[in-house]
């Protein structure tokens, strides 16, 4: 199995790091242990992570500040990816920020907090996958304007149904689609198939299943997943990540954690190849979906 792929035209390791969990409870406020959060970021770079997914509204500012404090000056080949389209209220509630002007502010807030001149990729996080075509054109038009201004390199789209992805592809070059998807949540299979057809990177958030449906603990309770893990002498988390990598050569993973041990476990999944029996068995894993996935990512 290839351990590298492409993000747009940029080569990256297929397992990156999702930084959302580095904020406090509810992705709001400071982490319980800032030193531990920094240790995870440093170890991620040591293990070859060259693709970090973040957002200014994680915290807000908390996660981007941690990334900057820990990793700046950034390694030459590190790709910093963010998303815009949301904001937080003073109590930590998740609110839409979908107007073109708000998207511009969101990109500039990320540039400020990460202290970079250009983001490697910015995802448009749709709060309503059935958003009107006119609004989507205005939103992507703003991101394209920012790209031409040199404030971002690549454009992605997140929480988008297949129709929205097709419409987006008619308007701008799309380098990645970031949707909820995992061995226990395959509700977005049609979007993955579209990405395969168009050779676009697919980046599943909640790759281990949503915390709202049990996450890794739910994986361990599934007898099929547990059986594959036991047979291969690997963890259920590694089964879930290796399964995703097997689905598509341009699948890029961004599992998040606040633990160095879990980070090392996740990164080791890049070297695991499931056999035909394993993959056939995993077709029967229980499908729970992610009822809370649209709340945030």
Closest-CA residue to 60 (of 110, 9, 118): 110
Does 58 qualify as catalytic in the annotation? yes
Three-state DSSP state, 253: strand
| Catalytic site residue from 58, 181, 205, 248 | 58
Alpha helix ranges (H) inside 50-188: 62-71, 100-114, 133-148, 162-171
Q: Which token pair is 264?
A: 């090392």
- Check if the beta carbon of residue 243 is closer than 8 Å to that of residue 274: yes
Residue count of the chain, please give it: 297
Q: What contacts 73, CB < 8 A, 6 or more positions away?
A: none
CA dihedral 202, 204, 205, 206 (to 10 degrees): 180
**Active site amino acids:** 58
């Amino acid at each position: 199995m290839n351990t590298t792929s492409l993000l747009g035209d940029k080569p990256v390791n297929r397992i990156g790091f999702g930084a959302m969990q580095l904020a406090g409870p509810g992705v709001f406020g400071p982490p319980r242990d800032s030193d531990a959060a920094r240790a995870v970021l440093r170890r991620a770079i040591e293990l070859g992570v060259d693709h970090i997914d973040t957002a200014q509204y994680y915290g807000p500012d908390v996660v981007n500040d941690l990334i900057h404090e820990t990793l700046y000056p950034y390694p030459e080949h590190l790709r910093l990816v963010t998303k815009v389209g949301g904001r937080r209220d003073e109590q930590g509630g998740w609110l839409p920020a979908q107007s073109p002007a708000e998207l511009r502010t969101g990109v500039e807030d990320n540039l400020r907090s990460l202290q970079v001149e250009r983001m490697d990729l910015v995802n448009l996080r749709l709060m309503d996958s059935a958003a009107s075509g006119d609004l989507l054109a205005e939103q992507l038009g703003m991101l394209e304007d920012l790209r031409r201004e040199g404030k971002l390199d690549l454009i992605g789209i997140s929480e988008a149904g297949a129709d929205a992805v097709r419409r987006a592809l008619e308007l701008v070059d799309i380098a990645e689609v970031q949707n909820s998807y995992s061995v226990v949540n395959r509700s977005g299979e049609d979007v993955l198939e579209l990405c395969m057809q168009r050779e676009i990177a697919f980046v599943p958030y909640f790759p281990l299943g949503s915390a709202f449906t049990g996450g890794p603990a739910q994986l361990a309770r599934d007898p099929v997943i547990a059986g594959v893990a036991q047979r291969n002498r690997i963890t259920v988390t590694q089964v879930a990540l290796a399964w995703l990598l097997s689905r598509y050569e341009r699948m890029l993973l961004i599992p998040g954690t606040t633990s160095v041990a879990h980070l090392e476990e996740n990164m080791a999944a890049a070297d695991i190849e499931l056999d035909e029996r394993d993959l056939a068995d995993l077709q029967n894993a229980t499908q729970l979906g992610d009822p809370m996935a649209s709340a945030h990512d």
